[in-house]
Structure 1
Amino acid sequence: MSTTRRPPDRASQLAAVTAAPPSVTDIPPPTATTGLESRFDERALRWGRRLLVFLGYCLATVIMTWPWVTRLGSTIPPGGDPLLQVWISRWVQHALATDPLNLYNTNAFYPLQYTLAYSDSNIPAGIMAAPIYLLTGNAILANNLLVLGTFVLAGCGIYALVGLLAGNRAVAFVAGLAYAFLPYRFAHIWHLNQLGHAWTPWAIFALVLLIQRQRWRYAVAFGLLFAVQVLTSFYVGFQIAFAIAIALLVAVVAEPRARSLRFLGQLVAAGALALAIILPLAWPYVLVRDQQGLERTLWEAEQYQATPASYLRVQSGNRFWNWLTVKKGGEDTLFPGGLVTVGAIVGLIGFRRRPAVSVAALALLLFGVVLSLGPTWRPGPDGGVPLPYRFLFDHFPFFKAMRVPARFGALALLALVILAGCGAAWAWERLCRRFPGPPRLAVGAGLTAALAVLVMVELFTQVRLATPDTSAEIAATYRWLAAQPDRDPIIEFPAQTDDVNAATMMYWSTFHWKPIVGGYSGFVPRAHDELIQAFTGELKRPDGSVAKNVSYPRADNIGLLQTLGVRYIVLHEYGYKREDLATIIDQLEATGVVEKVDDFGEAIVYTLNPATEPPLPIEIDLYAPSLAVAGEFWEPAFVARNVSPRQELFFIERPLTLTTTWRDASGKVVRSDSLPLALPAVLPPGDLFCSARACPTAPGATLPETGPESPRLYPEKPGSYTIELAVIGGVKQRRTIPVEVVAAPPDAGADGLPLALVDVTLAGDQIAPGTALDLTMNWETRRALPEDYTLFAQLIGPDGQVWGQYDALAGWTGHYASAWRPGERVSLPWSVPLKADAPPGTYRLLVGMYRRTPTGVERLPFAYPDGDATEYWAGEVVVP
């Protein structure tokens, strides 16, 4: 007699728990009991089993990370990221206990705001680490226990999820081992936030329970777990959002309960709960993106994208599989392990047993692999082939905040583990029929133990460890700072932003919580990096030799610290050669604005006196061509002028933005644009000539090329307009300029003088010695110039001597004289400094143009209101 196998009904397709045959641990106890006793015994058995699973993963974690567990209080993985994670946890605890409304305004990167948003804030980890820190007082121990805890959390999560989907707890336990100790997790063992993807299987587990049972407690659990995952890492937050979307799409098709109004209402409520938690804590990231430019470039994404070879890559500490590829480790360590690979293949072969789970896992696998390959397939000179990540990068702003596409490979690894679990369960279902009764239990237990050992053997990776110096000698400096009653800012030298020393300074700042100028994070604003680099330069030694790239305070940059309001300067001996430290100390003390507090052996502490006078303001002159030809490139420009004899801080808290507002003849606004300005945060003395595209440090520097794809920043319709240029941010400056938009370039004159000086306007009729005369020259182009010319303006004293002069290329960066078109009017603000010892009397202003030749200079004839010449007396001023 033959029998026909009935296919599983649709209700069991998403998670075939009840339809699956019993696993090793599913065999019921042989004795019968009363109902109450049975429920009690079942509950005790269930919790006892969970406890054993938990302890099993704890033991596996100790073995797989040995001997780290013996030194948890003093060692960490090498690099700056582990110390950054320690500091983040401590800051979250400190801020929540003292000033929760300023959670994101940390003590690092002074004086910038929302600096916790420069990395994943990982608020859940900070909260979970708080009891450990309160009990031990050891922040490193608390962080390390959290790191190890993520292995247990990940294993238990997959155990719960695969057990639910495959109906086999023995298989689920092995799958949990495979997921917990993926090579990818060892590659990120210093990234506590990335290890936080251990929450992902728990959130999916809650979603599956919500679909199956539709109880409100599961909706609450799903919303909370989703929020915890996002707040642990926004990288992983994007990953889990895609995983949840794929799971829901498959569930809607395969599971009728997923289409019910009850489920829809519960899902909306879970989403509302998650958003209520996430949005207030995500808003600072939006502010950082807008104010500090928290965006990655396409080039950065291409540097950190995975390749097909990445899925064979392990850490160098993995002896079992390190022969697979030449390159070891890195962000793209995405090998899933041999047993997981085989299990996933088996899962695809047996996909009919659990079709909905298989389809969802396969979709997640493909999705994760494709996104991990980044924006471009084989990027090169020809640009390569765009991939789906490129579309997301171009159209979803938060994708520009992510630097490492390879991390999306974690989705593929999760999918492979789920497929492998389903494959192993399907294989056992077929195999167990051959072993009736008690032999089945023995065979199942033996297979489970063998697979568990094999997984641990093939995935074992030696963890590299480092021991940060937390000796009493190092701590003495920070304990002294903590004892000071003020909250004044600190800067430590050498000052860097991209090395372990910067992260070490952040760790030690947890002793005093005073603001520190330094900082280390996943994102460092350009302004802060330029500020730190302003302290790096050459050091001239007493013997005449020069040391390159030395970070130290000195006369030409000490004013920057006074402008910031820095109170304490800490010099670390470890950062300098012994023979250089004495020279640095001499130069610092020679500034006359510091006082030595104490020498703590490893570090010397100084206090910095406030500046006696405020810094001189930075001046900005705005320019724009008065003629725009339709279809051709046109852009405004500006000159930033530092009249101080030393470096000055231009902006720090918010980058500058240039807004352009076009009005037609009736005053109606017809176009407006906002452009970020690439101005340096620290200006050297003198003038800096810039265009809207770039900010070279010298006149005549090469600008980025323009082409048909370059933006057109003017109205398309020809006519007469005015453009209002406004700089906002660290400084404010406005200027309105008339601009004519024409359909075609005007005809160039065949003869005559190429330029005419229309008029010169002086800012005043008096000027004091040591100041500058501001003026504006309006030029008209009559014929194209073959080359650029230099414009000069001189102040000639009553004695006939030159007492003030300023020479620079006529025009501005990107629009010097050779770019002026016939018919165009060019308005040039100018500033002529007058010597401090200039005698009193009437001074005459002389202006003109010249070009340099191999034998000297050649003056350019030009027209002026009363005639023509090679120079023009433009006005007079009185020096009292």
Structure 2
Amino acid sequence: MVGIAGLVVTLGFYWRIVIDLRSTVLFDLGDPLLQAWELAWQRHFLFNGGDFWTGNIFGGTENNFAFTDSLLGYLPFSLIGGSGPADAILRYNLAFIFAATLAFIGGYMLVRQLGGTWHAAALGAVVFAWAPWRLAHVHHLNLLSTGGIALALFALARGHGFSLRHGFRPELARPGWAVAGWLIAAWQVTIGFATGLPFVYVLGVIGVALLVVMLRKRKQISRRLWIADGVGAVAFLTVTLLMTLPYLRVVELYQFTRTLGELQTYSPPPQGLITTSHFSWLWSDTAFTAWTWDMEPAPWEKWIFPGLVLLVFAAIGLAFSAWPRKVRLVLASGVVVSAILALGTSFFHGTFTYLLLWKFLPGWDALRTPGRLILWTTLLLLLLAAGAVTKLAQSLARKHKQRLVALVMILPAVGALAEAVPVFPYAHPPAMPEGLQQEFEKPGPVVILPMDLTGDSIPMLWSTKDFPILANGNTGNYPKNWTELTAATKAFPSSRSIEALEKHNVRRVIVVKSLVEKTPYARSLIRSVDGLPLTKTETRDIVVFTLR
């Protein structure tokens, strides 16, 4: 029933893509098309083999699939549909629906396991899947894919007989669930390190605490549980290590680094904690969107409002809760610490907070968006709020009928759901121009103009039938050949641009007329090729320049 409820809510919120799964994406044509290409590349690898970590973009530069989160955990979706842009969009949209539904289920199951009533779990499900800050990341499948985090914590808690109400009870341990928790955590890491890296460290802290408790109560711990944890932890660490290898190789090959300047640019200001996006139907044009457009660039990384209903019930949960006082203090401390970390360098320059992690935790310096840590603030607030709702439900149950209690105590979840009702923009990827597929079937790398950060996602999508080698590409990192070609082709055709093309072994440039309209690239259609080693062939939709 929980899964059905989560799916129904998701389908309702995502109705724009539900009615047109093959040709509509939410938000824009940037990251959604990149991630559609990623899932399509996984299918291509599954059915055709080759080097998984080297895609057809950036001229086939080595390990370019590890320039961003790989979404490897969604490999089973490769079995859906066929090749080509329409099936790539279908696959992406189905994965998108799955991610939100799984987060809903995970939030519910975690709260129930930790001792919450179903009313509290309903609030947890809504918040974990649809907190207001998540609406701003509707174009980031990797960031919305957090269901595995909640489900892993649920399974580990059940496997060890743990709840917030009663603590660790070894007699209730279920070793099979413990193994499942570690394996689900490993799957979560395969989605990507944007959320996966903090999760690895959180799980490390939990693992150490768990080991200490188990050693103290070792006489009560069954041998099966020790084995289950050993096998599960080894599997988790092995998968995590294997996932890091291609990314370490990328750093070795390209020396990609995140700078302090980038970190400062993407750090949310303090008012980001009470700022939501205009995608919220309830909060649009209210005080919670007063600073929405004052946070450029990339403002969606700085809208980190966890939700008013959540904050109210979390505050109530500090004093009135089903959880013991010590648990509430730990949760409250975690809320404060994680919220401060989510502000990055905006909190007293981050000198004694975020920058300590950035400088000393391995891999943390690859993360440039501190605001995404609001996920952990939300989770801790959720648990505080669940304690309050559980206590209220229990108090009412002593004096009133169950139906009345259910009607009243479901209101927090309904309120949180109202905050989550979205008004999403959507986009239709342009159809492949006539004649482009024939050009893709010719050997050798090709440049598609326009060539820029977000626009390159469109030819990437068009390439998902046969995956020809493109010099274009759009990921979180960009190799030198892409930056050089991007700069040079702004003045194409010219002697400088031809030198850059020859340097990177590109023999063809294809200008898509519909995409260059009203852009500087439109001049490439009218510049003379006299005296240049080029042949020019024009059709209704494209112009093909071939180096002689």
TM-score by length of 2: 0.88
Is 2:509 the counterpart of 1:569? yes
User: Could you list the runs of 5+ residues in structure 1 that have no partner in the other structure?
Assistant: 1-51, 379-383, 538-551, 610-880
2:344, 2:350 within 8 Å by CA — same for their partners in 1? no
Shift of 1:507: 1.1
The residue that corresponds to 2:542 in the other structure is 603
| Counterpart-to-counterpart distance in 2, 1:342 and 1:176 | 17
More off after superposition, 164-173 vs 86-95:
164-173
Is the 8 Å Cα contact of residues 317 and 384 (structure 2) preserved in structure 1? Answer: yes
Specify which of 296, 321, 324 is matched with residue 287 of structure 2. Answer: 324
Is the aligned partner of 1:179 residue 2:128?
A: yes
Partners in 2 of 1:247 and 1:395 — Cα distance?
19
The answer on whether the counterparts of 1:375 and 1:393 sit within 8 Å (CA) in structure 2 is: no
Q: Aligned to 1:283, which of 223, 245, 249?
A: 245
* Distance of 1:228 and 1:95 partners within structure 2: 19
Work out whether 1:400 is the aligned partner of 2:365.
Answer: yes
CA offsets, 1:228-253, max 9 Å, x none?
11121202112212432444466567
Q: 1:222 and 1:580 mapped to 2: Cα distance?
A: 52
| 1:36-74 superposed Cα distances (whole Å, 9 cap, x missing partner) | xxxxxxxxxxxxxxxx22211122122333444223322
Superposed CA offset, 1:464-500 (max 9, x none): 1112212xxx34333213444x3x111112322x23x
Is the 2:135–2:280 contact (alpha carbons within 8 Å) kept by the matching residues of 1?
A: no
Change (3 A) 1:281 1:238: closer
TM-aligned CA distance change 1:523 to 1:599, over 3 Å: same
Match of 1:334 in 2: 304
* C-alpha contact (below 8 Å) 2:272/2:305 kept by paired residues: yes
Q: CA RMSD in A?
A: 2.8
Distance 2:410 2:246 in 1: 48
Q: What's the CA shift for 1:334?
A: 1.9
Classify the secondary structure of the residue corresponding to 1:334.
Answer: coil
In the aligned structure 1, how far is the partner of 2:543 from the partner of 2:100?
42
Deviation of residue 416 (structure 1)? 0.9
Q: Distance in 1 between matches of 2:67 and 2:83?
A: 29
Number of residue pairs aligned between Structure 1 and Structure 2 = 524
Among candidates 311, 332, 355, match of residue 362 of structure 1: 332
Q: CA deviation at 1:79?
A: 4.1
CA shift in 2, pair 1:533/1:586, >3 Å = closer
For 1:368 and 1:181, the matched residues in 2 are separated by 19
- 1:11-90 equivalence runs, <5 A: 52-76=1-25, 77-90=27-40
Partners of 1:579 and 1:173 in 2: CA distance: 51
Name the SS for the 1:393 alignment partner. helix
Letter in 2 for 1:481: E
Secondary structure of 1:185's counterpart equals helix
Larger CA deviation: 572-581 vs 272-281: 572-581
Are 1:454 and 2:415 an aligned pair? yes
Match of 1:303 in 2: 265
The equivalent of 1:345 in structure 2 is 315
Paired residue for 2:80?
Answer: 132
- Are the aligned partners of 1:478 and 1:512 in contact in 2 as well (CA < 8 Å)? no
Which position in structure 1 is the counterpart of 2:470? Answer: 516
Q: Does the 8 Å contact 1:374/1:387 carry over to 2?
A: no
Give the corresponding residue for 1:228: 187
Distance 2:47 2:66 in 1: 19
Which residue matches 1:219? 178
Identify if the C-alpha distance between structure 1 residues 67 and 507 changes in structure 2 by more than 3 Å, giving closer, same or farther: closer
Amino acid at match of 1:553: P
State whether residues 492 and 570 of structure 1, in contact with CA within 8 Å, keep that contact through their aligned partners in structure 2.
yes
The equivalences for 1:112-191 within 5 A come to 112-125=61-74, 127-134=75-82, 138-191=87-140
1:429 corresponding residue in structure 2: 394
Q: How does 1:739-818 map to 2 (within 5 A)?
A: none
Q: Is the 8 A contact 2:137 2:144 kept in 1?
A: yes
Structure 1 counterpart of 2:477, which letter? F
Residue 583 of structure 1: how far off its partner (Å): 6.5
| Greater relative contact order, per chain length (Cα 8 Å cut-off, separation 6+) | 2
| CA 1:586–1:369: 2 relative to 1, 3 Å | closer
Unaligned runs of 5+ in 2: 162-171, 293-298
Distance across 2 between alignment mates of 1:207 and 1:80: 37
Residue 601 of structure 1: how far off its partner (Å): 1.6
Q: Which moved more, 1:272-281 or 1:221-230?
A: 272-281
Question: Are the counterparts in 1 of residues 271 and 291 from structure 2 also a CA contact under 8 Å?
Answer: no
1:577 Cα deviation after fit: 5.7
In structure 2, relative to structure 1, the CA distance for the partners of 1:225 and 1:356 (3 Å cut) is farther
Matched residue SS, 1:110:
helix
Q: Is the 8 A contact 2:127 2:310 kept in 1?
A: yes
Report the Cα distance in structure 2 between the residues aligned to 1:377 and 1:583, rounded to whole angstroms. Answer: 47
CA contact (8 A) 1:481 1:512 kept: no
Distance in 2 (alpha carbons) for counterparts of 1:417 and 1:93: 37
Structure 1 SS opposite 2:495: coil
Work out whether residues 340 and 417 of structure 1, in 8 Å CA contact, stay in contact via their aligned partners in 2. Answer: yes
- Establish whether residue 531 from structure 1 lines up as the match of residue 478 from structure 2: no
Deviation at 1:367, TM superposition (A): 3.2
Q: Distance in 2 between matches of 1:192 and 1:580?
A: 31
**Structure 2 SS opposite 1:518:** coil
Considering fraction of residues, name the structure with more strand: 1
Q: Spell out, residue by residue over 1:151-174, the C-alpha distance to the aligned partner (whole angstroms, 9 max, x if none).
A: 211110011110111242232123
Counterpart of 1:143 in structure 2: which amino acid?
Answer: Y
Contact 1:368 1:409 in 2 (8 A): yes
Give secondary structure in 2 for the equivalent of 1:71: coil
Distance in 2 separating the partners of 1:455 and 1:479: 47
**Rg larger in 1 or in 2?**
1
How far, CA to CA, are the matches of 1:430 and 1:581 in structure 2? Answer: 69
1:391 aligns with 2:356: yes
- The letter for the 1-side match of 2:512 is H
Query: Is residue 494 from structure 1 mapped to residue 457 from structure 2 by the alignment?
Result: no
Structure 1 counterpart of 2:497: 557
Query: What is the distance in 1 between the residues matched to 2:520 and 2:469?
Result: 31
Instruction: Quote how far apart the aligned CAs of 1:580 are.
Output: 8.3
